[in-house]
Amino acid sequence: MFCDLYNSNESSKYYLKIFAGKECSKYPVIQHYINGKLNSDNYYDGSKVLFTSNVVKFDPVPSKPKNTSNKKTQLVMPCPQDCPIVDCNWRCLNCEQNIEYGYNKHLYCDCGESDIAHCKFRCNSSHHIRGYVPFESDTLIKMLPSAPPEEINILLLGETGVGKFTFINAFVNYLKFDSLIDAKSRNMGVFIPSKFTVTDENCEMKTIKLGDDDSNERLGSVDASSTIGCKSYVFHAPGNKHIRLIDTPGIGDTRGLDQDKKNFEKIMISIIFRFCVQELLSHLHKNAKDNIVFCFTNARGTFYRPGDTLPALKKQIDEFKERSNVEIKINKDTTFCFDNESFRFLAALKEGITFTDTDELCFAESWKKSVNESRRLIEHFVGCKPHQVEDTISLDNARSIVMLLSKPLAEVGQLIQTNIKLIKEKQSEIENSDKTIEDLKDQLYIPQIDLEPIQLGYPRTVCTNGSCVRTLKINEIIIKIDYIQHCCKRCYVPFNNYLKLCWAMKFINGTCKECGCERNKHMHISYENKQITNKIINENVKSEILKNKSDQEAKKAMIKECEERQTQLKGEQNIINEISIKFAQFLRQNAIASFNDAYAEYLDLFVNEEKIKKSADPRNYDDEILKGLEDTKKSYLDQIDLINQAISNDDTCPISPKDISDLEQRLYALPINGQTLKKINDEVKRSRINDFKESHYIPLENSMGKNGNSLYKLLGKFSKKYFY
């Protein structure tokens, strides 16, 4: 309406008058004022989401949920004013987020929870002229779904650049259109914002952009990794059925590769491929092996067959079978070949790029083959026995506990060796002293260093090599390593053994682009430990010592306490090693593919730290700490070898996810180091922020007419037993 008024002349009944004295924009804008003060310079652009959406207004506003429903679905229903749009996807007026229904007569959004009786609706149809309109109570209840949808969930895993989000965008269009001709004549579906470049008929490069950027996708360089966090995309099919595709961040991020090393291209591809397959499968429980399929997304150049990738993939899978006795099937039933280029061709056509008739025929055939493969893929999955997701979730939760604790456990191991050294020095001081107990009464304590974690502004990757650090002598007792070489000042890799994904690391030879040191000399940190010296006084022992005892007896009592404290510390180190071994055993028993032992890697880093301290002050350095750490690592690795042998012979007792949680609590209950360990681990958890988002693609039949698409109709035939 505003634009119509802008284009009308002064002879019209209503028109807009532009004042010459007022500086105006070159295009019409709506400025929003509140109480005479400018609130928005461009009200339409700032509120575009609401202007173009179907909106729900809550009165009263939603409150904090009391009993959040475990099952929710996107609110999809017609407008109460009988507007032409059959099914609308609704947003909240306040938070602008999609609204979900919890099958409990309550609606949910980012604002909270609201009773269905407290909402009014306004769709974005031009026929809607009555503002916000409520449903009659009985009518609304009848329109809301009575049961949760039947679901099939497909997790997409793959290395960066393989085309996962292009596949998702293509898939929704294969659901909508049987042929490229149909797709050309209708609006294409875009689930994930993306862009790519093509060469037009004049050999000029043109960027094709699909959709609007969102917070979970980067529309950066064309070859860069786009997905930041996990996000799911839900297809609503006939008969209250949902297909959910879950997109994940890519492995082998292209932004971390050294593109100048062209001579190593084949080596690089091999290394990345091997790492990606290994890393992806390490997250899955062994029970998922029968639900794994392999999709090849650029198969037109290999005659819609797997091509050269298949031998390398089979070799990797055979290695997994040898190591873990897990067989993943790779055959015609589990391989699917698509061509993402046909979707890109459609996108280019929509942007006005012209092609020859021959080109169009070629991509029309490609589209047809991809539709057929989509049908075969869906048929395969609905015929599979569903994987019990709890198994993989339990594995991943336990894996997170193990990975999060790896560095704190190694730090506490280093701390234990330091405190043992201090106690030995205290014991020696008492043994060799000729002072009376009266003179020593102020020395009746055991020295102990504790760690206080300090959060950093951003997680970072630092170099721990001797040439990239400096030693600081805090006092006579404490020598601190200062990491002055920050190779990646804002590094968001999840754990230390993901450092090969850090942009500062060269993927091929594993050296750092910033300092030139090896990758294994680097450490990912999100906090620093402040060392605090405490005096542990056993009041009972002190009282006994000062109570009518000879100097010799008093010294013996103090020496005995020192010896008992050392025994306690060594006992806690043994418990830490024992539990770390069980962590490693659990992961080797349950994951399809095992992965690097982070605890051993951190022990290596702290052994290296002690060597640096020794080289900085060899005369005063005590080898006890270094020797203790090296002995700890050797004992741990020896036990791991025994565990691996036992797993190979299938004669180990299984460890459950609950066991892992119990072992974690046992660590926190350690009398001396338990609370220090918990403080450090809590700080690690605070520094990690996980994000998950879900988008819905709602009923497709609106854009397909009565007959619809053959693949889409196929989804409606699947009975309930096939959807999970």
Residues 421-480 pLDDT 10s? 888 888 888 888 777 766 766 777 788 888 888 878 788 899 999 899 888 776 655 567
Average pLDDT on 344-367 reads: 89
Average pLDDT on 694-699 reads: 54
pTM of the predicted structure, to 2 decimals: 0.54
Position 7 scores a pLDDT of 56
Left, alpha or beta for 211 (phi > 0: left; psi -120 to 50: alpha)? left
Position 706 scores a pLDDT of 44
Position 721 scores a pLDDT of 44
Torsion of CA 268, 269, 273, 274, to 10 degrees: -50
- Whether 60 has a pLDDT exceeding 50, the answer reads yes
How far apart, in Å, do the first and last CA atoms of the chain sit? 47
Q: How confident is the model at residue 227 (pLDDT cuts 50, 70, 90)?
A: very low
Q: Where are the domains of the chain?
A: 2-143, 150-387+695-722, 392-686
- Let me know the angle formed at the C-alpha of 663 by 661 and 664, rounded to the nearest 5 degrees: 65
- Let me know the angle formed at the C-alpha of 252 by 247 and 254, rounded to the nearest 5 degrees: 100
Average pLDDT on 36-43 reads: 77
DSSP codes, 320-347: HHHHH------SGGGEEE-BHHHHHHHH
Residue holding tokens 């699947």? 718
Query: Judging by beta carbons within 10 Å of its beta carbon (0-12, 13-18, 19+), is residue 200 exposed, middle or buried?
Result: middle
- Alpha-carbon span 657 to 404, nearest angstrom: 15
Min mean pLDDT across 414-418, 608-612, 715-719 is at 715-719
Identity at 183, one-letter amino acid code: A
- Whether 216 has a pLDDT exceeding 60, the answer reads no
Left, alpha or beta for 475 (phi > 0: left; psi -120 to 50: alpha)? beta
Q: How confident is the model at residue 269 (pLDDT cuts 50, 70, 90)?
A: very low
Position 514 scores a pLDDT of 92
Name the token pair of 257: 């590769």
Left, alpha or beta for 286 (phi > 0: left; psi -120 to 50: alpha)? alpha
- Whether 257 has a pLDDT exceeding 60, the answer reads no
Average pLDDT on 88-94 reads: 88
pLDDT tens sequence across 594-622: 655 667 777 888 888 888 888 887 877 77
Length of the chain: 724
Indicate the pairing of strand 469-473 with strand 241-247: unpaired
Neighbours of 671 (CB within 10 A): 9
- Whether 279 has a pLDDT exceeding 70, the answer reads no
pLDDT tens sequence across 478-527: 567 888 899 998 887 777 767 877 888 886 677 899 999 998 899 888 88
